[in-house]
Structure 1
């Protein structure tokens, strides 16, 4: 009887390519959009790459007959694959971009949001730019003997996109000098870096209206830097990035810093990313993607305005920068400072369970640092129900052309309107019925009293209007837009300069000269020295969702905090009917408002006391997902044409388990070529 032939279990490569003498097998994470293929595969390490094929480098490998990018995760001695392995075709760069800390953060984020590691790393690591990398590595080699990195030129630091180089650049620079110059000289240090505290702070205007978040952040950053650690500072958009850069420029005692933003060119972004990776800068500022930025010796993460919608990434797996900061702080044992003008439900829950420490101003400090707030008084003022009541006109005129008896100081006046346009929402003048599209029943909009009338939902367009209820052709405004407001103000206040802000034209900052600034919600420019007065028109109604009141409070506070404190004559006229918004803005106490709101959410089991997942797809496919994950409890389901949308909840304690189950389920359905169900976890607008 013949003996069986011996089985050769040694590692070999296709084409008999000589392999690295040690650890010849590389586990490579393929950058692939298909869920079941976005995982690690074994590849052989050619002998020529024995020294450069290090864990964390970018590589190019052949996959399904095509060259694909990937990350080398680990090198091992053996493989479980039977037969020769394909080899690594190229080492894209010798730089280890996927550090162990970033790998752990990417894996944690993928579990948190039921995504793939490849999807997370696509958001976390910018595309490589060869020329920028070559320049940085050359400078790094030349400066290898320097123990302290030199401060970067101001022109490089301010390369945050076109917005920082516009006509208001000089005003932004003056704004930075003013922020640093107005900071209290006896500013205490509530953020000792050695303890790595986790702090939540809400702001009032104080000595730097609208920008006290920067002075608070600078205090924390200085303490962290003095302890020899680094700082990561996140802001929601390019405007905050511009004024923060200006303040850091004016703070001559701070070291070099890097800027990371989607507005940068690929070369600028990759340069800044490498500066953080190589430890050339100790302060990194940026927008949401900077939450993943590699930083040596990270000691503190500062996040401003965490409830801002810009922090929610619209690419899979749809992570929120606030949650990435929380995960990173836990993984890397860093300090945290959440500073904002409002208070999000997620941060307040962490304060109440003791994970974050409350450091907001007390009652007397809030009252002294906030402006005086007026609300309509229907009983005493017969004109209180007008869109711009007589009291609001008085406050505006007193700030623009003060008389001898006016106590508030001369300065710019902010007029906040909910929307742009002329009549963004209007109704029939006879029966008061809201004007709706005859095709799809969505609300109609118009640019003037006589049309044209259009529907943004289905594209319907008409030169005339006819009420579906009473057939009247006359219309009246429910919510006037920015265009109509400017028209009214120009007639009532001739000779006063009016600046519009909204849409694609949003100034970052203005000087302190008296003028009217008419801005849509979220487009309010910063004012040097703060606004003398703000008139917040109409009632805000962000939408029919659970957090609509939270959003209304946030939008009003973001505008009101731009006004000078009452000690400097600052006043606000608030046109809202909602009692919660009125109380919060009048007292400048969003913490108490959110604490009361959380009591109801806790009893009802609503977020943030449970996590939610939104599933979009065919009804049968959604049912199969819900059946496969027993922790999910379906809350609501809506039909959306051919697809359905279901929202389910699950306990926070089951977060990682549910995330992993959903990830494996998506990969399994992908491998079986079954229709995918889109998964979004903790989208604020799901409920």
Structure 2
């Protein structure tokens, strides 16, 4: 037998949070610290413990002199690393996020702390040096009402909170880099969260230009394990004062955090697809509470959730005056998309562009500038209909939708194929009227690029979308055809933008369809030069639609308020808090019945799980019934009570080992 273990002399009890998936085990457990591990077993380090007869990983939350536990103590098996990777600030943030989303701290920690890379931990590093205060661009923040006062408050570390409405054409990466540099020069750290790699690259370059490359690190899922952990340690150790990253970077372990920024919070990429499904915006708000730091939620458009922060008085509204907005905006024209709107000009007919759009593109190209053409779908012709009766074209084999993958074919028209089973149908006949002719319902990016190339011979055509996204295009006459969200930045700005098939975006069966459409349109229109320089934007949509009017007026704030009012009227977030419980019928019924829900709770459903939604497990419940969804709605004041009730009910189910797993989402992005 080995020598008897001796406990540490000072604070011999370590409170450990085990990384276990079971909800009823989401608490600390007390373990004795062996004397040989006393120096390394500090709060925040990774440890290995024996739990229920097996070794599991965990984090030391604190060291204590005594314990309330009356039974036999286990021992820390070993300290995996002496690096204190779980800081006090991040531990508190993990607690708040788990409470907000009815999740477990173990799940949040998997999002917050990356896997260890032992070799990287042993590499030498140097603490950060002093960072000079950045020189602010005079054409920047002073264009916004109270913008100078806001920047002063950030620089003086007074922790202001703002929802920033960026002007069209704004160099927003530089504006954010100026804020981050001001905080870093005062000895604090800054975290900037962006939706995707393209935005990360732009902000990272701007921050390096303002504060120097040694002061900045970029974090994203695309980095390899070693590089990601190396950069994450640079943030933890303070050798990099500014962190730019995607959604999980909101948990970056920066010391003395002075600023947290979330850009374009309406982007789906900022919503975590893993349990407990937190949104980066909400995590940033919680971090501002925990760290007492400044927070900025920015974008060209605005979500109803951000507007609630302003209307509640929690955040200030950082906007420009109307005359400044008009000066910076391009000319925006809306027109209906119909066959009658096509011009008599042969070139306009060939490109299937209304006369105004065709003329705007021609003027921009004549001035030596590029034209951005935004289309809602990729591919060639993704949706077809009967050319006579307009009935949707369906596959005779599986009833799936027919599409035209390319123009290749014996007659140059191509052969329609089913998007579900892939079978071609060269002898198509309409199931309703028997006609052979087909028409395009939605024209994809590939077909649009082909038609524009014929309408503007000799002009370079650039295609961006799908797996081939172009980040930047040099200034000059070019037609840039892009799917939504893949619009390249053109040096010096586009001369015109054509936003096609607006109905395809507005007509989606989605609670956020109008909000998302305006966000996509404004992101594209913001890349166009101002009207004073000849910039034009043509949106092919009915000008009577409120979302189109908001674009023409460049009024995202008014649109966000109207969106909130509409959701308030029908009882949807953010006017209320909503919990979606997914699983088998018996499982969700049991959970809802056992939860101590507030008296204000309203239960909706259960109904079949919405199309396109999947559970994190495969198969059906124990009775062979397909998964369902139950919605629970409460007023905003009872949101915390609802989350606590569901968390406790799930923990009780876990302790009882109830069959049939369930998924709980608080304020999900997609409801039905």
Residues 412-445 of structure 1 deviation map (CA, whole Å, 9 limit, x = unaligned)? 1111110111121221112101224567765443
Matched, 1:500 2:485: no
Matched, 1:522 2:478: no
Note closer, same or farther for the CA distance 1:374–1:180 as it changes in structure 2 (3 Å cut).
farther
Question: When the two structures are superposed, what TM-score results if normalisation uses the length of structure 2?
Answer: 0.88
Identify the residue that residue 622 of structure 2 maps to in structure 1: none
Which range moves more in the overlay, 109-118 or 270-279? 270-279
Identify the residue that residue 342 of structure 2 maps to in structure 1: 383
1:286 to 209, 222, 245: 245
| Paired residues of 2:271 and 2:280 also in contact (CA < 8 A) | yes
Note closer, same or farther for the CA distance 1:292–1:185 as it changes in structure 2 (3 Å cut).
closer
- In the aligned structure 1, how far is the partner of 2:69 from the partner of 2:252? 35
Matched, 1:638 2:626: no
Matched, 1:477 2:440: yes
Matched, 1:429 2:429: no
Which range moves more in the overlay, 387-396 or 632-641? 632-641
Matched, 1:87 2:71: no
| Paired residues of 1:453 and 1:461 also in contact (CA < 8 A) | yes
- In the aligned structure 2, how far is the partner of 1:655 from the partner of 1:439? 48
Matched, 1:653 2:622: no
Identify the residue that residue 569 of structure 1 maps to in structure 2: 534
Identify the residue that residue 544 of structure 1 maps to in structure 2: 509
Describe the SS at the equivalent of 1:343: coil
Residues 172-217 of structure 1 deviation map (CA, whole Å, 9 limit, x = unaligned)? xxxxxxx998955977623212331111121223xxx3x5322332
Which range moves more in the overlay, 555-564 or 661-670? 661-670
Identify the residue that residue 267 of structure 1 maps to in structure 2: 226
- In the aligned structure 2, how far is the partner of 1:355 from the partner of 1:390? 47
| Paired residues of 2:219 and 2:245 also in contact (CA < 8 A) | yes
Matched, 1:395 2:356: no
Matched, 1:139 2:125: yes
| Paired residues of 2:336 and 2:540 also in contact (CA < 8 A) | no
- In the aligned structure 2, how far is the partner of 1:118 from the partner of 1:139? 29
Note closer, same or farther for the CA distance 1:645–1:238 as it changes in structure 2 (3 Å cut).
same
Identify the residue that residue 453 of structure 1 maps to in structure 2: 417
Alignment of 1:461-472 (within 5 A): 461-464=423-426, 465-472=428-435
Which range moves more in the overlay, 672-681 or 558-567? 672-681
Matched, 1:616 2:576: no
- Root-mean-square deviation (CA), in Å? 2.8
| Paired residues of 2:597 and 2:642 also in contact (CA < 8 A) | no
- In the aligned structure 2, how far is the partner of 1:460 from the partner of 1:615? 35
Identify the residue that residue 296 of structure 2 maps to in structure 1: 337
Residues 438-481 of structure 1 deviation map (CA, whole Å, 9 limit, x = unaligned)? 6776544331454342234xx36343434332233322111100
Residues 325-356 of structure 1 deviation map (CA, whole Å, 9 limit, x = unaligned)? 00000111111111101010001111112111
Q: Which runs of 5+ in 1 are unaligned?
A: 1-12, 152-178, 403-408
- In the aligned structure 2, how far is the partner of 1:117 from the partner of 1:570? 50
Note closer, same or farther for the CA distance 1:150–1:377 as it changes in structure 2 (3 Å cut).
closer
Residues 138-195 of structure 1 deviation map (CA, whole Å, 9 limit, x = unaligned)? 324xx5xx753799xxxxxxxxxxxxxxxxxxxxxxxxxxx99895597762321233
Matched, 1:40 2:45: no
Residues 490-545 of structure 1 deviation map (CA, whole Å, 9 limit, x = unaligned)? 21111111111011111111111211111001110111111111111112326212
Describe the SS at the equivalent of 1:48: helix
- In the aligned structure 2, how far is the partner of 1:216 from the partner of 1:646? 43
Question: When the two structures are superposed, what TM-score results if normalisation uses the length of structure 1?
Answer: 0.86
Identify the residue that residue 212 of structure 1 maps to in structure 2: 171
Residues 201-237 of structure 1 deviation map (CA, whole Å, 9 limit, x = unaligned)? 21223xxx3x532233234334434443321111111
| Paired residues of 1:486 and 1:518 also in contact (CA < 8 A) | yes
